[in-house]
A and B are shown apart, each in its own frame.
Chain A
Amino acid sequence: AQRVTQPEKLLSVFKGAPVELKCNYSYSGSPELFWYVQYSRQRLQLLLRHISRESIKGFTADLNKGETSFHLKKPFAQEEDSAMYYCALSGGETSGSRLTFGEGTQLTVNP
């Protein structure tokens, strides 16, 4: 069975500090990993996916298959980064739009 774990429900940092949101997964095949974000009073939206290897809003995430992790990082947090972040896993083409989500991490960036 596939599983996504986000160990921190709440994370609070100061503006300008580095931030890392942890995500660990279990999956027997080759997963595709995603980070979704939900800002206050907005809908859930895709932030980034590991296959694109791009940086979005200063965030990056590297898939570490050895540690089965996909941590989200940003070197200098901004107040507008405050949001709920969800790590999600797809089993690939056979999974279709079936994503397994973690429970989410509420990030608060303090001024």
Chain B
Amino acid sequence: KAGVTQTPRYLIKTRGQQVTLSCSPISGHRSVSWYQQTPGQGLQFLFEYFSETQRNKGNFPGRFSGRQFSNSRSEMNVSTLELGDSALYLCASRRAGRPEGELFFGEGSRLTVL
């Protein structure tokens, strides 16, 4: 079974631009969540989608948004990029009915904002 797949793996943007990251969950997993990982703040929850609906949202500004498609694939978007948005963005999926914290993570998309 293929794991969680994230694209692109690396990208470089400049301040003010926007970026879209993609995540394909493990087949059969309907929950997709996103995390931001930085050296200073560690792993922080961004949001979770389940059956195309945002189920939970972390404490991030409105520049961070996401969505989920009917095939459970998810995208997250960051608009008006700031230097502080440089981070590793991790996607995780979970199978419905499994314990809430049993997540399967992707390898991440490393965003550098110049």
Contacts and interface: CB of A to CB of B under 8 A. Distances in A.
Does B bind A?
yes
Interface of A: 32, 34, 43-46, 49, 51, 86, 88, 90, 92-93, 95-104
Nearest to B57: A98
B72 to A, nearest CB: 13
Interface of B: 3-4, 31, 33, 42-45, 48, 50, 55-56, 58, 90, 92, 94, 99-108
B3 A43 contact: yes
Contacts of B56: 95-98
Interface class of chain B by DSSP: strand
Contacts of B55: 96-97
Contact of B100 (A96, A101, A104): A96
B25 to A, nearest CB: 11
A102 B4 CA distance: 23
A57 to B, nearest CB: 17
Nearest to B42: A103
B22 to A, nearest CB: 16
A49 to B, nearest CB: 6
